[in-house]
Amino acid sequence: MMKSCYQNILESSTVSLSQGSQNNSYPLYRLYDRDIGRMFAGSAAATTEVKAEQGALIQNAIDSLFIPAGHNLGGMQCNLSFSDDDTTYTQAFPNLLPYSQDFENAWWQKDNTTVTADAGADPLYGTRTADQISDGTATGIHDLFDGALSVYNGVVYTFSIYAKYISMQYLQLTMGRATTSAIYANFDIKNGLVSLPVLMAGSGAVAVSAKITPVDGGWYRCEITGSTNDASYLRAFFNPSDSASFAPSYTGNNNTIYLWGAQLEAAPSNNTASNYNGTFGSAQTLTPSGSGLIQYGFPQAMTHRYWKFTITNPSVAPQFAELFLTSTYTWEKLPARPGGPFDDVFNVKNETTASGLDRFLVFGNSRRQRVYKVVNAGATQQANILALNAAWAGSKPFWLYDHEGNWIYGRLRKPIGLKETGAGKFGFDFDFLEVLGS
């Protein structure tokens, strides 16, 4: 699979830095008449925010974040969030739950249930971190529900959790409150069934799907996907039957179930929970290691007016060259193999003195080159490649995900030479050279 990212919203957004300075002429790359790119440099070891406002009328979809190599963010807690009103921000990275497998923690509030921590082996690693939940003997609702949660109303989320039957057969997952806006579904943990499909309660909710997926050792991953106008409430109810309505009330019988690995995320494009990301006291954030390329792809493309990149309580003043918030184009037809050289190009100039001695001037790191020849591409790829060329690649560098699975920041060395090879078929050359050495 090959991809390209070629529209950075920061080029057309109003960008602000909460502390420190940004050098808008930092020569990350150079056009004939000006330097492009910016250097963000904090003035102190304090929480730093870079905010981009796209405007009310023109907003581009975002599905990827890039920060080029050479930053000092290694080990720092970073995050990206979005908003449409510049007041309520939603985290873009999964997992949004701070205690994803510690249901004994007071953050998880309880109604008529008790939690025995670390009572069984978890479904993914086999470690003794799964909690056992009992519904006791009281009459009323029996549930676990989240503490304070900052999410965005109307956004499609996926809420998932791992469950294993002991003596409690039915589990209900909900998002929202029935009196206002909610979605919910019932799951048969003993037989691995969605016993009541995802339904809506209240108003303004959109039910998308409910799924149950078997995992080793009798475990199932249960999940619901949808949106509500009261998204800050997540609950796992324990049910007396497979047809229980929203928030069932009953008299407990000391029935038990294993739970582990809760996750809330902006819904992936296939409306299926992404790989589980455990959290241990805070929502999942991006913590880079070292000073190499930072790249993160979101589960789905999102369109919002405000985006905020935050570095929380850094140990030193943060500094990095450029922040790319961009969308990804996946090539429809791939080249069978590289169509030209793909050895590194060295930035070395050789000079010979008057006495015949060789002198070598090294101008930085070597650069990668990739040459691809695509034949018989369809009309869709023709339109997308022309859009890439016209919008970005024809005049500026961009990101390429190559045939070896590397993200490379570079430029086209020559025109793509799009040509028609048959009825509705097109070919082009893609001669690409890195502009930032890794």
Question: Are 160 and 237 members of one domain?
Answer: yes
Q: Is residue 15 part of a domain?
A: yes
- As to burial, measured by CB atoms within 10 angstroms (0-12 exposed, 13-18 middle, 19+ buried), residue 190 is middle
Query: What DSSP string runs through 354-368?
Result: TTS-EEEEE-SS-B-
Question: Are 145 and 216 members of one domain?
Answer: yes
Q: Is residue 62 part of a domain?
A: yes
Q: Is residue 60 part of a domain?
A: yes
Question: Are 317 and 367 members of one domain?
Answer: no
Query: What DSSP string runs through 44-95?
Result: SSS-EEEEEE--SS----EEEEEE-SS-S-TT-EEEEEEESSSSS-EESSS-
Specify the amino acid at residue 294. Answer: I
Closest C-alpha among 311, 323, 296, 314 to residue 92: 296
- As to burial, measured by CB atoms within 10 angstroms (0-12 exposed, 13-18 middle, 19+ buried), residue 333 is middle
Question: Are 303 and 251 members of one domain?
Answer: no
Question: Are 126 and 258 members of one domain?
Answer: yes
Indicate the pairing of strand 407-412 with strand 425-434. Answer: antiparallel
Q: Which domain holds residue 34?
A: 3-87+287-328
Q: Is residue 339 part of a domain?
A: no
Question: Are 133 and 214 members of one domain?
Answer: yes
Residues 6+ apart with CB under 8 A from 83: 89, 90, 152, 304, 305, 306, 308
Could you identify the residue written with the tokens 């003043």? 317
CB contact at 8 A, 227 and 206: yes
pLDDT given for residue 285 in this prediction = 66
Question: Are 299 and 389 members of one domain?
Answer: no
pLDDT given for residue 340 in this prediction = 85
Q: Is residue 100 part of a domain?
A: no
pLDDT given for residue 70 in this prediction = 82
Alpha carbon distance 18, 314 (integer Å): 14
pLDDT given for residue 201 in this prediction = 77
Print the SS3 string covering 198-230. Answer: EEEEECCCEEEEEEEEEEHHHEEEEEEEEECCC
CB contact at 8 A, 253 and 239: no
Neighbours of 267 (CB within 10 A): 22
Distance of CA 410 to the CA centre of its chain: 23
Give the domain CATH number at 10: 2.60.120.260
Tally of CA atoms within 13 A in the half-sphere of 60 that contains its CB: 21
Question: Are 375 and 411 members of one domain?
Answer: yes
pLDDT given for residue 366 in this prediction = 84
Number of domains in the chain: 3
Distance of CA 145 to the CA centre of its chain: 24
Give the domain CATH number at 182: 2.60.120
CB contact at 8 A, 418 and 409: no
Question: Are 145 and 201 members of one domain?
Answer: yes
Closest C-alpha among 321, 288, 169 to residue 240: 169
Question: Are 160 and 229 members of one domain?
Answer: yes
Alpha carbon distance 178, 180 (integer Å): 5
Q: Is residue 422 part of a domain?
A: yes
Q: Identify the domain boundary among 266, 301, 318.
A: 266
Question: Are 160 and 18 members of one domain?
Answer: no
Q: Identify the domain boundary among 266, 298, 316.
A: 266
Question: Are 226 and 161 members of one domain?
Answer: yes
pLDDT given for residue 68 in this prediction = 85
Q: Identify the domain boundary among 275, 295, 328.
A: 328
Whether cis (ω within 30° of 0) applies to the bond prior to 275 is: no
CB contact at 8 A, 80 and 287: no
Three-state DSSP class for 361? Answer: strand
Tokens of 185: 């579904």
pLDDT given for residue 113 in this prediction = 95
Digitized pLDDT (tens) for each residue of the chain, 438 residues in all: 788 888 888 888 999 999 998 887 665 544 444 445 678 889 999 999 999 999 888 788 888 899 888 889 988 888 888 888 998 787 777 788 889 999 999 999 999 999 999 999 999 888 899 999 999 999 999 999 886 675 667 778 899 999 999 999 999 999 888 778 889 999 999 999 998 888 887 788 888 999 999 998 999 999 999 888 876 678 888 888 888 888 899 999 999 999 999 998 877 667 888 778 788 787 666 778 788 888 887 766 788 999 999 998 889 999 998 899 998 888 998 887 788 888 898 888 888 888 888 888 877 778 899 999 998 899 999 998 888 887 765 667 889 999 888 899 888 888 888 999 989 899 999 999 988 654
Q: Is residue 279 part of a domain?
A: no
**What counts of helices (H) and strands (E) characterise the chain?**
1, 36
